[in-house]
C-alpha cells in the first residue's frame, strides 16, 4: 500500500450523476481486480473509498456516483488538481485456474470493481456479465463491459432486460452453468443474489461497500458481521468475501 499525491488527468461526467476520474500516480502501482483506493477530497478529513476500475501503468481510473458532499466536491476537480490517495487496498477478486466461465452480477456503483475483473480476464476466461441500472440514462462504461458477453438490465426497461440484474442472471443460470459468480452492488441486490443461488453449489464472491473511515484496518468503522458470528473489517479482510461467509 502506498500513500501518494496524485495528479488529476481527467474528470468527466459519463452518465446521470456518474463521473469517471483518471489520475496519475508517481510510478506504476500494481492493482489486482477488485482492489480499491482511498481518495482525499478537499475539505473532508476522511478519505473516501472507490474501486479501481482501470490501472494502466501509472494511470488509475475510478468511476463514481455522486452520493453526498464528498463526491459532489470531487466532481468539480479538474485536470492538474492534486489528490491524496492510498492504494492499492483490500483483497480483490481471485479467480482460480480451473474456473473458466465467470458470471458477473453488478448493480449501481458496484459495476466499477467488476469492470476491473472483466478487463483482467477478458482474454483468458469466458465472461458473462449482468449489469443493472435504474434506467438508460444511468448506463455507463458499456464499451468496457462488452469485452465479454453482456446483458444490461434496467428497472424501467428503457434499455435491455426489464428488471434487476439478479433476475436477468437467474433466467440464464441453468443454461450458463458458470464456474464462479462474482458480484458487487447495493446490499438488497447481494441479498437477492444470495437467496437465488442458495443450494446451487456455485462458488460466489461479493464485494461489500460499507462506510469506511481509515481504509487500512485501524478504525473499525467498516466492520461487518460474518455468518459464524465473528466480525470482519471490510477494508482489510475484504472487501471481497464468500457470499456464504457474510450476513447481508
Ligand atoms: C470498497 C469500496 C469501494 C467503493 N467503490 C465505489 C466506486 O467504485 N464508485 C462509487 O461511486 N462508490 C464506491 N463506493 C461508495 C463510495 O465510497 C461512497 O459513495 C462515497 O464515499 C460517498 O461519499 P460522499 O461524501 O459523497 O457521501 P456522504 O456524504 O459520506 O454520504 C452520502 C450517502 O452515501 C452513503 N454512503 C456513504 N459511504 C458509503 C459507502 N461506502 N457505501 C454505500 N453508501 C455509502 C451514506 O450512507 C449517505 O446516505 C465504494 C465503497 C467501498 C467501501
Ligand atoms: S475503514 Fe477503518 S478499519 Fe476499515
- Nearest ligand 1 atom to the CA of 50 is 5
| pLDDT tens digits along 102-146 | 999 999 999 999 999 999 999 999 999 999 999 999 999 999 999
Q: What is the pLDDT of residues 149-161, one digit of tens each?
A: 999 999 999 999 9
Task: Please state the separation of Cα 143 from the chain's center in Å.
Answer: 16
Cα of 41 vs centre of ligand 2, distance in Å, is 18
| pTM of the predicted model as reported, rounded to 2 decimal places | 0.96
- Determine which residue's CA is closest to atom 31 belonging to ligand 1: 68
User: For residue 44, how far is its CA from the centre of ligand 1 (angstroms)?
Assistant: 14
65 pocket-lining for ligand 1 (C-beta < 6 Å): yes
* pLDDT tens-place string over residues 195-247: 999 999 999 999 999 899 999 999 999 999 999 999 999 999 999 999 999 99
| Separation CA 135–CA 47 (nearest Å) | 30
* Strand 59-65, strand 82-89: pairing: unpaired
Q: Whose CA is nearest to atom 11 of ligand 1?
A: 64
Please give the distance, rounded to the nearest whole angstrom, from the Cα atom of residue 210 to the centre of ligand 1: 8
Contact predicate 66/19, CB 8 Å: yes
Residue 36's beta-bridge partner residues? 51, 89
Q: Which atom of ligand 1 is closest in space to residue 238's alpha carbon?
A: 1
pLDDT band for 26, please (50, 70, 90 cuts).
confident
CA of 61 to the centre of ligand 2 (A): 23
Closest ligand, as measured to the CA of 70:
1
Q: Going by DSSP bridges, is the β-strand pair 82-89/2-15 parallel, antiparallel, or unpaired? A: antiparallel
Ligand 1: atom nearest CA of 72 is 26
Q: Which ligand has an atom closest to residue 237 CA?
A: 2
Q: Is residue 239 in contact with ligand 2, taking CB distance under 6 Å?
A: no
Domains of the chain, start order:
2-89 (2.40.30.10), 101-207 (3.40.50.80)
Residues 50, 55, 59, 61, CA torsion sign:
negative
Amino acid at each position: 500500500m502506498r500513500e501518494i499525491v496524485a495528479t488529476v488527468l481527467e474528470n468527466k461526467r459519463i452518465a446521470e450523476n456518474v463521473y469517471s476520474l483518471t489520475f496519475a500516480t508517481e510510478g506504476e502501482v500494481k492493482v489486482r481486480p477488485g482492489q480499491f483506493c482511498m481518495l482525499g477530497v478537499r475539505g473532508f478529513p476522511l478519505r473516501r473509498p472507490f474501486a479501481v476500475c482501470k490501472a494502466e501503468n501509472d494511470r488509475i481510473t475510478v468511476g463514481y456516483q455522486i452520493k453526498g458532499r464528498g463526491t459532489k466536491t470531487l466532481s468539480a476537480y479538474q485536470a492538474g488538481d492534486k489528490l491524496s490517495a492510498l492504494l492499492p487496498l483490500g483483497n480483490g477478486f481471485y479467480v482460480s485456474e480451473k474456473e473458466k466461465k465467470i458470471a458477473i452480477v453488478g448493480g449501481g456503483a458496484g459495476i466499477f470493481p467488476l469492470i476491473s475483473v472483466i478487463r483482467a480476464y477478458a482474454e483468458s476466461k469466458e465472461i458473462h456479465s449482468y449489469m443493472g441500472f435504474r434506467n438508460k440514462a444511468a448506463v455507463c462504461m458499456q464499451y468496457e463491459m462488452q469485452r465479454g458477453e453482456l446483458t444490461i438490465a434496467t428497472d424501467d426497461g428503457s434499455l435491455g432486460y426489464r428488471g434487476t440484474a439478479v433476475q436477468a442472471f437467474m433466467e440464464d443460470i441453468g443454461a450458463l452453468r458458470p464456474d464462479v459468480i462474482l458480484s458487487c452492488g447495493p446490499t438488497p441486490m447481494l441479498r437477492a443474489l444470495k437467496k437465488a443461488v442458495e443450494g446451487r453449489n456455485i462458488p460466489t464472491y461479493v464485494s461489500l461497500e460499507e462506510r469506511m473511515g481509515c481504509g487500512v484496518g485501524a478504525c473499525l468503522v467498516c466492520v461487518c458481521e460474518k455468518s459464524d458470528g465473528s466480525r470482519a473489517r471490510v477494508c482489510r479482510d475484504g472487501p471481497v468475501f464468500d457470499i456464504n461467509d457474510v450476513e447481508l
